């Protein structure tokens, strides 16, 4: 791996105003395989990011430590035939996020170990996010406290990986990671003044803490460009609302904006975001949403031809989510019917937390075996997943479940790699 790949990409955007970086925020193997194929097709850097919820020193919801995540993912990507020298791992929202219910002292102690393990494992892009208030903190935290805690964690990362040349992201978006919980119709972009202050305070604190040499490796500032999604709707990018931010970005010597919650934005809007210096586009829930779409569609195709087929992934997933509601219950409101709808179709895709469950994985394995043995008629497959079927047909690829699912996820990824490949504005 080359630590400078992302910095080079950002520098190229600063020179030309074109190109950027697609950040794939998922630990789901099917999503990662699709991302490897898409990045390879675009001759792009493959940036894979895990969040502090997915992967931490205690395992996160994936059950993986940072070192385990990298080892497992690197092998998966190698098996895809992707050149490992263009693979970069990132850590998103690294800080006290997972331990906000504890005191600041306790949460930051755990955050230090989180950063130590991420850096030592080989993560080369780290989002220092200490914006969240802990149990004994005021709400919200002031910029100085946030920056001071970020610098503290930066020191830990630098000490754990002194030769890595880690690149850093600072700042945060207003909504919680993974989509907004409340009404989003009134979402507004971060003010240019607030963004400038965040960056200036971080730079000042880094200098005070002896991190001036690290500052040029701060390549991105997280802001809210005015894009968002919640359970049922998407707020599209409106360039006119972000003009002050665009002008501010042009004053940064070595940084661009990093845009979170860009899931479900159109191809046109993603291209506009990159043009306006939101050059790092993060996408996650939209990809696991696409995975569910494809998997459920193909399972329905199987059941349409073989009603007694043993595999029913949707039924097992629903039972699992009902038996363990902690990952969705406080997010999905309404009556039983509304909650049932959201468990499957919410754009925030809380279902993604349940794919690693043993019962779900066993049912998926059963489905793949049954589907690939069934050799369903073309017309049936086309009814349930037409675009993926046509692409596999045109490329002479087998109509296996894995091939069709991968192609469907690539449809969701394609607008991101097209927007960031530098070919257009």
Strand partners, 229: 234
Positions in the chain whose pLDDT score sits under 70: 1-3, 174-185, 423-425
Q: Are residues 83 and 214 in the same domain?
A: yes
Q: Domain holding 133: CATH number?
A: 3.20.20.70
pLDDT digits (tens, 9 = 90+) for 352-376: 999 999 999 999 999 999 999 998 9
Q: Are residues 259 and 408 in the same domain?
A: no
Q: Are residues 242 and 323 in the same domain?
A: no
Is residue 325 included in any domain, yes or no? yes
Is residue 420 included in any domain, yes or no? no
Helix-helix angle 285-305:358-374, to 10 degrees: 50
Is residue 421 included in any domain, yes or no? no
Q: Are residues 235 and 315 in the same domain?
A: no
The residue from 284, 307, 327 where one domain ends is 284
* pTM for the structure as a whole: 0.95
The strand pair at 280-283 and 46-51 is best described as: unpaired
Q: Are residues 170 and 254 in the same domain?
A: yes
Q: Are residues 268 and 393 in the same domain?
A: no
Is residue 381 included in any domain, yes or no? yes
Q: Are residues 96 and 163 in the same domain?
A: yes
Q: Are residues 306 and 400 in the same domain?
A: yes
Strand partners, 21: 280
Is residue 422 included in any domain, yes or no? no
For 425, counting Cβ atoms within 10 Å of its Cβ (0-12 exposed, 13-18 middle, 19+ buried), the class is exposed
Nearest-angstrom CA–CA distance, 328 and 318: 12
Q: Are residues 155 and 208 in the same domain?
A: yes
The residue from 284, 316, 339 where one domain ends is 284
Q: DSSP label at 55?
A: B
Nearest-angstrom CA–CA distance, 251 and 199: 12
Q: Are residues 240 and 376 in the same domain?
A: no
Is residue 419 included in any domain, yes or no? no
Q: Domain holding 403: CATH number?
A: 1.10.400.20
Nearest by Cα to 79 from 402, 413, 421, 366: 402
**Tally of structural domains, the chain:** 2
The residue from 264, 284, 304 where one domain ends is 284
Is residue 425 included in any domain, yes or no? no
Q: Are residues 263 and 131 in the same domain?
A: yes
Q: Residue 12's domain spans which residues?
A: 5-284
Is residue 424 included in any domain, yes or no? no
Buried b vs exposed e over 259-297: b needs ≥16 C-beta within 10 Å? Answer: bbbbbbbeeebbbbbbbbbbbbbbbbbbbbbbbbbbbbb
Q: Are residues 277 and 294 in the same domain?
A: no
**pLDDT of amino acid 176:** 45
Nearest-angstrom CA–CA distance, 244 and 352: 35
**pLDDT of amino acid 48:** 99
**pLDDT of amino acid 179:** 47
Contact 170/204 with Cβ under 8 angstroms? no
């Amino acid at each position: 791996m080359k630590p400078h790949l992302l910095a080079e990409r950002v520098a190229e955007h600063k020179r030309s105003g074109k190109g950027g970086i697609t950040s794939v925020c998922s630990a789901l193997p099917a999503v990662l395989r699709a991302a490897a194929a898409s990045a390879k097709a675009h001759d792009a850097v493959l940036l894979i990011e895990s969040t502090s919820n997915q992967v931490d020193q205690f395992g996160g919801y994936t059950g993986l430590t940072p070192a385990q995540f990298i080892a497992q993912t690197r092998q998966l990507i190698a098996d895809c035939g992707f050149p490992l020298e263009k693979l970069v791992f990132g850590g998103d929202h690294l800080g006290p996020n997972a331990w906000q219910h504890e005191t600041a002292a306790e949460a930051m102690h755990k955050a230090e170990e989180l950063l130590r393990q991420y850096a030592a494992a080989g993560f080369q892009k780290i989002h220092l996010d200490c914006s969240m208030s802990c149990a004994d903190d005021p709400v919200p935290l002031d910029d100085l406290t946030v920056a001071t805690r970020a610098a503290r964690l930066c020191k830990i990362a630098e000490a754990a990986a002194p030769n890595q040349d880690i690149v850093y992201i600072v700042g945060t978006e207003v909504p919680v990671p993974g989509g907004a919980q409340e009404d989003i119709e009134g979402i507004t972009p971060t003010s240019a003044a607030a963004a400038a202050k965040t960056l200036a305070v971080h730079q000042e604190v880094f200098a005070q803490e002896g991190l001036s040499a690290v500052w040029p490796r701060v390549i991105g500032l997280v802001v809210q460009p005015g894009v968002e999604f919640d359970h049922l709707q998407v707020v599209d990018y409106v360039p006119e609302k972000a003009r002050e931010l665009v002008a501010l970005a042009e004053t940064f010597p070595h940084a661009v904006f990093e845009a979170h919650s860009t899931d479900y934005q159109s191809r046109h809007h993603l291209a506009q975001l990159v043009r306006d210096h939101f050059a790092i586009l993060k996408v996650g829930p939209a990809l696991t949403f696409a995975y569910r779409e494809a998997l459920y569609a193909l399972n329905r195709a199987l059941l349409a031809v073989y009603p007694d087929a043993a595999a029913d992934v949707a039924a097992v997933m629903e039972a699992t989510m009902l038996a363990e509601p902690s990952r969705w219950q406080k997010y999905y409101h309404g009556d039983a019917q509304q909650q049932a709808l959201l468990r499957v179709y919410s754009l925030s895709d809380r279902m993604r937390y349940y794919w690693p469950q043993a019962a779900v994985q066993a049912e998926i394995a059963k489905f793949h075996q049954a589907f690939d043995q069934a050799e369903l008629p073309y017309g049936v497959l086309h009814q349930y997943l037409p675009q993926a079927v046509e692409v596999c047909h045109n490329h002479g690829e087998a109509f296996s479940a894995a091939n069709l699912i991968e192609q469907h996820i690539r449809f969701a990824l394609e607008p991101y790699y097209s927007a960031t490949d530098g070919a257009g504005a």
